[in-house]
Structures are given as C-alpha cells and as structure tokens.
Amino acid sequence: MPDPATAYFRPVAQGDPHRPAGAHTLAGGWCWFTHVERISRTEAPALIPAAEAPQPVLARLTAPRAPLAGLDMARPRLMGILNVTPDSFSDGGLFMDPEAALAQARAMQAAGADIIDVGGESTRPGAVEIGVEEEVGRTAPVIAAIRAGSDGPVSIDTRKSMVARAAMGAGASMLNDVSAFSYDSRMAPFAADSGLPICLMHAQGTPQTMQDAPSYDDVLLDVYDFLAARIAQAEAAGLPRDRIVVDPGIGFGKTLEHNLALLRRLSLFHALGCPVLLGASRKRFIGTLSDAPEARDRLPGSLAVALHGLAHGVQILRVHDTAETRQALQVADALRGEAP
C-alpha cells in the first residue's frame, strides 16, 4: 500500500490549436499540456505548472508510446467488439454462428476498426463462467477465420491462459485480460513468453459479484495503484512496460459515481507510461444517465464518452458501433486541424 501522502500527477490534456510555447506533448499523441493536477489522498487537488512535476513523471507522461500489434499509438485506435457468446450484455447471441461472427468482423474492419477484440465468455455483471474448452471452441476458429483473410490485428478477450494460448495459435496478436492476472496465475508468465502485448484492466470482485456493493477509499487513486501494481507484477514476470496497455475497467465493480470519477480524470492513467484503453461502449452507466434501459439505445452516449476519451488522449477505444465511432473521430480530427 503506497504512503497515503503520495502525490499523483494528472496532465490537463488540451487540444486547442493555439499551443503555447513550452507545452508538452501527451504520450507522443494529439494532446498537449502545460499544467498538471497534483492529487493525493490527504490534500485537495492543486493545479501546478507541468515543469513542477517530478522529472520522471514528466518523462513518462510525454514519452511516445511504442507501436502495439503493429499499430502506431500516436493516433487514436478503434477496437471493435466481437462477442461470440450467447449472453453478452449488448451483442449476446448475435454472433454465435461462426459465419455471422466473421461477417461482423469484416464489417467492423471495413468500417475502420483497427483491432477486433474477440471474446467467448461474457463478463457482464452476474455472468456465469464457462470452461476452457468451450471458450476455446467459440473463439479460436473465429480468430483463425478472421486472420485467414486479413492482416488486421485481433485480440483475445479472456482471463484464461489456455484460451489465450489457443487464440495465439489461431493468429491473435494481442491479449486482453479483464482480471489483470487475478483469475489465472499462469497468465503473466504466458503473456511474457508469448511476446504479445496485453491489456490489463481493473476490476473489483468477479463478474458474479462485482456490482453487489463496490467500494473504494478513493476510486481514482485505488484503480491507479492497482494498475501500477499489476504493471510491476508483469515486469517481474519478464513482460516489459512497452507491451502493456492499461484500462480503468468502466463498469467492473463500479457505481455510477465511481465510473464518472474515473472518466472525469481519465488522463491520470497516462502517468503509468502505457497506452490507455477505454471500454465504455453501451455500458449501463450511460443508460442510467440517460434513461436508456436497452443497451442498443446507448449509441449517442457511447459517442459522447468516446470523444471524451479522445480529449483525454486515450489511445484505444473499445466499441460496438465501429462505423459511427469512426465518423465521430474523423470529424473530431478535422476540427482539431488534423488530416482525416
């Protein structure tokens, strides 16, 4: 447990065309910052000039991120969601048929998805676990089919090293572990040996229980400390930081207020020195805020969160609605003055 007086430094990300001399580029990407917010568990947040942040923190905030699965992280990337499950909260049952799954993958690639994230086990609140064989049977053939006709990277959304191994054999080029090594202790050594990048996501509890009564001392700093500890665990297992993506895990053991607190100060996670992934698409908090009980009615709110992520310099947006999000990003790029 870090000292309660530990200070954390959040870059105040900007996108204005008038970039002051001396401004820092955030993570080699499209945002800049001149100030950071100094946050701690014991004092009120304070805005200070970036130059007053400790040098190692500033170095981590500004260093360009390494390419991931062949993708340059200097521009925002879209991860299209493909759940080969009967029970996912939004697309459950739609893509169980391998042909339908492949068609959806191709449609998302054509619409501008940079990565296809294939999942075979729902992790929605209350979801029931499935066995390794069943999960491999759902995901590996679909990954192989996607890879057979395209070079586009595919990630495997799994907590299980055996499923990840089969996915890699089928051509997956990235791992996405929503338990960040908590579920399967063999995931860290497997990820290290595989040579693949991995997304480590924060969750409190398991999908079965996570929404019962999530509680934190300070959700933002607790999630940050959790991810910092998992990066340290990964590094100890031989997995370098430049192959790690971090994700605050929107909706995984979080109330509405917890989700909002994380999203409002999302740019803090750049201080971990890794690309940041945001998965908020169609999630329940959007429905709660806008009285949209059905997941399929949450596209406008999902786009609002995606653009918010973009403004905080988030490198990877995990979304269901690839074409719509791509259009929103293209317009946002043009408004920032960047070539679409």
Residues that bind ligand HH2 (CB under 6 A): 81, 83, 85, 88-90, 119, 122-124, 157, 176, 178, 199, 201, 247, 249-250, 277, 279, 318
| Closer CB to ligand HH2, 53 or 199, in the complex | 199
Phi, psi of 200 (to 5 degrees): -105, 120
User: Is 336 known to be catalytic?
Assistant: no
User: Is 254 known to be catalytic?
Assistant: no
Shortest distance, position 203 Cβ to ligand HH2, whole Å:
9
**Residues facing residue 176 across a β-bridge:** 157, 199
Distance, CA of 303 to CA of 243 (rounded, Å): 28
Q: Interior CA angle at 295 toward 289 and 301, to 5°?
A: 45
Shortest distance, position 199 Cβ to ligand HH2, whole Å:
5
| Closer CB to ligand HH2, 13 or 314, in the complex | 314
Residue nearest to ligand HH2 (CB): 279
Q: Which one of the listed residues 65, 282, 283, 298 is annotated catalytic? A: 283
Shortest distance, position 133 Cβ to ligand HH2, whole Å:
19
Return the number of other C-beta atoms located less than 10 Å from residue 147's C-beta. Answer: 18
| Closer CB to ligand HH2, 166 or 180, in the complex | 180
Shortest distance, position 255 Cβ to ligand HH2, whole Å:
16
Shortest distance, position 306 Cβ to ligand HH2, whole Å:
12
Residue with tokens 């971090």: 246
Which string of b and e fits 115-140 if b means at least 16 CB within 10 Å?
Answer: bbbbbbbbbbbebeebebeebbbbbb
Shortest distance, position 280 Cβ to ligand HH2, whole Å:
7
Q: Which one of the listed residues 77, 254, 318, 326 is annotated catalytic? A: 318
Separation in Å, CA 191 to CA 177, 246, 260, 339:
10, 15, 31, 36
| Closer CB to ligand HH2, 83 or 211, in the complex | 83
| Closer CB to ligand HH2, 249 or 253, in the complex | 249
| Closer CB to ligand HH2, 50 or 164, in the complex | 164
The answer to whether the Cα torsion of 161, 263, 330, 291 is positive or negative is positive
* Residue positions annotated with a catalytic role: 283, 318
